């Protein structure tokens, strides 16, 4: 994560300070970006629209349980793992990105504000409906 810069021996103190400040700023920005990448969440709007479209395209529906959407017992990836299979992860620069890191656009992904705990036996429709109800009852934008 760290960075190293070299400064010529004849450089002035001000130039050294600028170089050091620039390196520190770059390192802080990298750490900030990494932190932001680890705190992303998928919008309720995205789940209601795009994700449900992906679920339906896989031959599933709102009454499908999470373990039917992504069965970790199968080697073949389900809806969730398929999304990032050929995407380079912004975390480690390797092939295989998290679902959230495959999304673009402020309406789809942003800083996570809440954490949802659920079981694999819940239906995707119940989860999305609950999230939508929470947004509505708390005057929150689902985007």
Question: What six digits make up the tokens of 61?
Answer: 């529906």
Position 36 scores a pLDDT of 85
DSSP 3-state of 95 = strand
How does 21-48 read in b/e, with b if 16+ C-beta sit within 10 Å?
Answer: eeeeeeeeeeeeeeeeeeeebbbbbbbe
In tens digits, what is the pLDDT along the chain, a chain of 143 residues?
Answer: 333 323 333 344 444 444 444 443 333 333 334 558 889 999 999 999 999 999 999 999 999 999 999 999 999 999 999 999 999 999 999 999 999 999 999 999 999 999 999 999 999 999 999 999 999 999 999 99
Position 34 scores a pLDDT of 52
DSSP 3-state of 49 = helix
Radius of gyration of the chain (CA): 21
CB 142 within 8 A of CB 44: yes
β strands within 21-128, DSSP E: 40-42, 109-111
Position 95 scores a pLDDT of 97
Alpha-carbon distances of 132 from 21, 82, 128, 140, rounded to whole Å: 45, 25, 6, 9
């Amino acid at each position: 994560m760290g960075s190293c810069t070299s400064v010529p021996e004849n450089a002035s103190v001000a130039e050294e300070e600028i170089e050091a400040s620039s390196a520190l700023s770059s390192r802080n920005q990298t750490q900030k970006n990494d932190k932001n990448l680890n705190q992303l969440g998928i919008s309720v709007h995205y789940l209601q629209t795009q994700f449900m479209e992906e679920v339906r395209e896989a031959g599933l529906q709102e009454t499908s349980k999470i373990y039917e959407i992504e069965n970790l017992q199968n080697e073949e990836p389900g809806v969730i793992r398929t999304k990032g299979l050929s995407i380079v992860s912004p975390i480690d620069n390797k092939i295989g990105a998290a679902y959230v890191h495959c999304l673009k656009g402020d309406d789809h992904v942003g800083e996570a504000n809440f954490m949802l705990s659920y079981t694999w036996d819940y239906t995707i429709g119940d989860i999305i409906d609950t999230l939508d109800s929470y947004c509505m009852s708390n005057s929150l934008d689902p985007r």
